[in-house]
């Protein structure tokens, strides 16, 4: 089956079981406690809590939910590309009962779909049930055990082998410290060539025995005093990893060949993106398995990371989550910068953005399921273009700083902080560079330095003044002040309270003259300084981040006074005769010509 057929097969199966097929919720969650929608149950929380009534008749639903796990409690970002089954963006197939059916139907239908309809060999299937340790909530899930026991015995299999007990961490689901909760059963599949591990790899973090489906039975309410009471209505909440099921079915040729090691990236979920990356880069994707010695491993990781990250970025932007400086927006910016960095491995050198050129492939593959990816395609491309261009301007300088900072295979925490503070390198990107080169980095020390900076920022809006003589830069700032009083610019570097941008309308402090004043967004620019060929703006207020697009506006009244016939500011370095002719009177022009300006 193709991925589209697998998705439809799941939804059609539960439609037969009188489930209403509902659209995916936005990745932007309704709950203020979540960075992103990270599970299929998020949109149904009011029905579980009983604050709203499920609008389905009967009260059953099925869907495929867009999910992101790249921050907070659920964060798979560091594993992406280095294994074959973790993603920051993934689809979660699910079926739901809101006070309707319970364990008997949920388990029977899970067996029917996976074993009887899809054809998974039952001897490769393992089910887990909740078995509490001392001090854990509730009791052994005897009901689920008996139901699974019946199906395994009917298939001629020993339930003592194929039913595995799980503790509170693996097999008890809670919405929070208080609220609806209950035991769960997970389905794991033995992907080894012979399928004879006897359940020894279940919950052992092995990519040869992968969990594909979790059936959660919401039957208790966790109370503030630590007790658990029965809910008046019991619910079912399931989640099946779509990409993992595609890998399971496609890599085994519909369960007929288990000789190959499993990988989500060999499926038609990712292959179209790889083909476009191959076309753009001229490089070939080879599906190197983690741990294998191969010259193609670094390149394979880059393909996988980019393919994962472009999905996360595009679907997030389609749901109006834009890369930025705080919260979920900053997580997206980190993900984009990781993708750009890995793009260098494939030969994308920053001359032209490559991420926007992958969007049409996503539209072609996914718009029939998620139409917003098509209707928002232009916005997605524009956002990716601006973000990639802005980071490329700092990446080369940051990489040079990185290479020059290594001391005997150790990377100084203060330099890692400077890469973050000045060049916009997220800590995880610096840590990634260190891991690739076998360099030691004390990440806790960097985090402590970052927290110290945050405290100083919160303590006072007026930052310590940094003078141009204390810093250096190779940035060239384009001056637009002869024609404009305001402009949009990209932040390239930050040094304390000095912000260097790619463009400006501000005259600099020079030759005894004060620089222009004005605003950067909602912050005040008190003066400007010339640093080489760059112009730095001294800020009072909120300091932006490297890569931000900002609005610069001069104080027009002050500019008019300073530009009167008796108060001409000297031009910033590098201005041409045509600039002088347009701006300065004849006497100044003659003086400029005498100096061969």
Q: How do residues 80-117 score in pLDDT, each as one tens digit? A: 888 888 899 999 999 999 999 999 999 999 999 999 99
Residue linked to tokens 């990988």: 263
Contact 239, 217 (CB under 8 A): no
Taking the CB of residue 490, how many other CB atoms lie within 10 A of it?
20
3-state secondary structure 331-350: HHHHHHHHHHHHHHHCCCCC
Taking the CB of residue 54, how many other CB atoms lie within 10 A of it?
20
pLDDT surpasses 90 at 330 = no
pLDDT of residue 410: 93
Continuous H helices in 130-241: 142-154, 159-162, 168-171
Q: What is the DSSP letter of 407?
A: B
Identify the bridge partners of residue 523 per DSSP, sorted by sequence position.
520
pLDDT surpasses 60 at 461 = no
pLDDT of residue 469: 54
Parallel/antiparallel/unpaired status of strands 478-479 and 503-504? parallel
- Contact residues for 183 (Cβ-Cβ < 8 A; gap 6+): 129, 130, 138, 141, 144, 171, 172, 173, 216, 217, 219
Identify the bridge partners of residue 186 per DSSP, sorted by sequence position.
214
* Tens of pLDDT, residues 157-191: 999 999 999 999 999 998 777 888 999 999 999 99
pLDDT of residue 134: 87
Helices (H) and strands (E) in the chain, counts: 19, 21
Q: How big is the chain by its Cα radius of gyration, in Å?
A: 29
Percentage of the chain modeled with pLDDT above 70: 89
pLDDT of residue 75: 59
CA distances from 19 to 101, 288, 370, 378, 593 (A): 11, 40, 20, 35, 82
Find the largest Cα–Cα distance for the chain: 102
pLDDT of residue 584: 43
141 is written with which tokens?
């899930």
pLDDT of residue 12: 98
User: What value does the mean pLDDT take over residues 474-501?
Assistant: 87
Residue 356 DSSP SS3: helix
CA distances from 251 to 71, 124, 197, 229, 469 (A): 30, 15, 19, 44, 61
User: What value does the mean pLDDT take over residues 237-242?
Assistant: 97
User: What value does the mean pLDDT take over residues 199-219?
Assistant: 94
What does residue 414 show for φ and ψ, rounded to 5 degrees?
Answer: -65, -35
> How far apart are alpha carbons 7 and 577 in whole angstroms?
66
Continuous H helices in 284-376: 297-318, 327-345, 359-366, 372-375
Our measurement of the distance from residue 375's CA atom to the centroid of its chain's CA atoms, rounded to an integer in Å, reads 22
Identify the bridge partners of residue 182 per DSSP, sorted by sequence position.
173
pLDDT of residue 360: 98
Given CA atoms 441, 447, 452, 453 in this order, what sign does their dihedral have?
positive
- Contact residues for 382 (Cβ-Cβ < 8 A; gap 6+): 356
Residue 519 DSSP SS3: strand
What does residue 459 show for φ and ψ, rounded to 5 degrees?
Answer: -70, -30
Residue 191 DSSP SS3: coil
350 is written with which tokens?
């920053």
Q: What is the DSSP letter of 325?
A: S
Given CA atoms 46, 50, 51, 55 in this order, what sign does their dihedral have?
positive
Contact 464, 495 (CB under 8 A): no
Q: What percent of the residues of the chain are helix, what percent strand, and what percent coil, each to the nearest 5?
A: 40, 20, 40
Residue 448 DSSP SS3: helix
Contact 249, 1 (CB under 8 A): yes
* Tens of pLDDT, residues 133-154: 988 888 999 999 999 999 999 9
pLDDT of residue 511: 56
Taking the CB of residue 12, how many other CB atoms lie within 10 A of it?
12
User: What value does the mean pLDDT take over residues 294-319?
Assistant: 94
- Contact residues for 386 (Cβ-Cβ < 8 A; gap 6+): 549
pTM to 2 decimal places: 0.75
pLDDT of residue 262: 87
What does residue 68 show for φ and ψ, rounded to 5 degrees?
Answer: -130, 130
Using pLDDT thresholds of 50, 70 and 90, give the confidence band for residue 466: low
User: What value does the mean pLDDT take over residues 284-306?
Assistant: 88
Q: Which residue has the higher pLDDT, 441 or 393?
A: 441
Residue linked to tokens 């599906």: 287
Residue 27 DSSP SS3: coil
> How far apart are alpha carbons 409 and 521 in whole angstroms?
41
User: What value does the mean pLDDT take over residues 225-236?
Assistant: 89
User: What value does the mean pLDDT take over residues 450-472?
Assistant: 60
User: What value does the mean pLDDT take over residues 43-53?
Assistant: 88
Contact 505, 551 (CB under 8 A): no
55 is written with which tokens?
């609008």
User: What value does the mean pLDDT take over residues 345-359?
Assistant: 94
> How far apart are alpha carbons 384 and 356 in whole angstroms?
6
pLDDT of residue 558: 64
> How far apart are alpha carbons 121 and 111 in whole angstroms?
11
Q: Which residue has the higher pLDDT, 366 or 516?
A: 366
Using pLDDT thresholds of 50, 70 and 90, give the confidence band for residue 71: low
What does residue 225 show for φ and ψ, rounded to 5 degrees?
Answer: -85, 5
pLDDT of residue 459: 56
Taking the CB of residue 360, how many other CB atoms lie within 10 A of it?
13
* Tens of pLDDT, residues 536-590: 998 988 888 888 889 999 987 766 544 444 444 444 444 444 444 444 444 444 4
Residue linked to tokens 């690739």: 436
* Tens of pLDDT, residues 211-226: 999 999 999 988 888 8
pLDDT of residue 531: 86
Highest mean pLDDT among 163-177, 245-259, 479-493: 245-259
CA distances from 495 to 307, 465, 509, 516 (A): 34, 10, 17, 19
Given CA atoms 148, 150, 154, 158 in this order, what sign does their dihedral have?
positive
User: What value does the mean pLDDT take over residues 411-423?
Assistant: 89
């Amino acid at each position: 089956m193709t991925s589209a057929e697998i998705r439809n097969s799941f939804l059609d199966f539960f439609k037969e079981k009188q489930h209403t097929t509902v659209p995916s919720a936005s990745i932007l969650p309704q709950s203020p406690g979540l960075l992103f929608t990270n599970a299929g149950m998020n949109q149904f929380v009011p029905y579980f809590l009983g604050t709203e009534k499920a609008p389905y008749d009967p009260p059953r639903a099925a869907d495929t939910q867009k999910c992101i796990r790249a921050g907070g409690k659920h964060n798979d970002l560091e594993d992406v590309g280095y294994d074959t089954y973790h993603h920051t963006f993934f689809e979660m197939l699910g079926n739901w009962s809101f006070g309707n059916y319970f364990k008997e139907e949920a388990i029977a239908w899970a067996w029917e779909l996976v074993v009887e309809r899809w054809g998974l060999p039952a001897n490769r299937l393992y089910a887990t049930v909740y078995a509490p340790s001392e001090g854990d909530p509730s009791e052994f899930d005897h009901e689920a055990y008996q139901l699974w026991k019946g199906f395994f015995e009917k298939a001629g299999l020993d339930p003592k082998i194929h039913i595995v007990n799980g503790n509170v961490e693996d097999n008890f689901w809670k919405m929070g410290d208080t609220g609806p909760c209950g035991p769960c059963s997970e389905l794991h599949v033995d992907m080894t060539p012979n399928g004879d591990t006897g359940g020894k790899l279940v919950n052992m973090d092995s990519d040869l025995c992968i969990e594909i489906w979790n059936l959660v039975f919401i039957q208790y309410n966790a109370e503030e005093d630590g007790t658990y009471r029965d809910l008046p209505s019991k619910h079912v909440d399931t989640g099946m990893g779509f990409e993992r099921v595609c890998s399971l079915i496609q890599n085994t040729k519909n369960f007929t060949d288990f000789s190959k090691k499993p990988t989500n990236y060999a499926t038609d979920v990712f292959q179209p993106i790889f083909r476009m990356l191959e076309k753009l880069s001229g490089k070939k994707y080879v599906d190197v398995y983690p741990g294998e010695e191969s010259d193609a491993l670094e390149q394979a990781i880059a393909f996988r990371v980019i393919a994962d990250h472009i999905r996360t970025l595009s679907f997030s932007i389609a749901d109006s989550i834009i890369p930025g400086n705080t919260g979920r927006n900053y997580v997206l910016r980190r993900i984009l910068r990781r993708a750009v960095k890995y793009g260098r491995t494939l030969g994308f050198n920053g001359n032209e953005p490559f991420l926007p050129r992958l969007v049409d492939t996503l539209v072609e593959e996914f718009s029939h399921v998620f139409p917003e990816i098509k209707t928002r395609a232009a916005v997605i491309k524009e956002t990716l273009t601006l973000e990639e261009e802005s980071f490329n301007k700092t990446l080369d300088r940051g990489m040079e700083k990185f290479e020059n900072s290594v001391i005997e295979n150790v990377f100084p925490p203060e330099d890692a902080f400077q890469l973050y503070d000045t060049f916009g390198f997220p800590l995880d990107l610096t840590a990634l560079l260190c891991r690739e080169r076998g360099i030691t980095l004390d990440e806790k020390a960097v985090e402590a330095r970052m927290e110290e900076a945050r405290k100083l920022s919160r303590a006072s809006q007026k930052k310590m003044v940094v003078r141009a003589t204390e810093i250096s830069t190779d940035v060239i700032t384009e001056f637009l002040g002869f024609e404009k009083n305001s402009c949009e610019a990209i932040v390239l570097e930050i040094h304390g309270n000095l912000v260097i941008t790619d463009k400006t309308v501000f005259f600099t402090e020079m030759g005894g003259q004060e620089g222009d004043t004005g605003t950067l967004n909602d912050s005040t620019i008190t003066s400007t300084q010339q640093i080489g060929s760059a112009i730095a703006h001294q800020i009072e207020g909120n300091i932006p981040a490297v890569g931000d697009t900002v609005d610069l506006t001069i104080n027009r009244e002050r500019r008019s006074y300073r530009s009167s016939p008796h108060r001409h500011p000297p031009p910033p370095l590098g201005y041409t005769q045509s600039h002088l002719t347009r701006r300065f009177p004849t006497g100044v022009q003659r003086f400029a010509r005498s100096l061969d300006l």
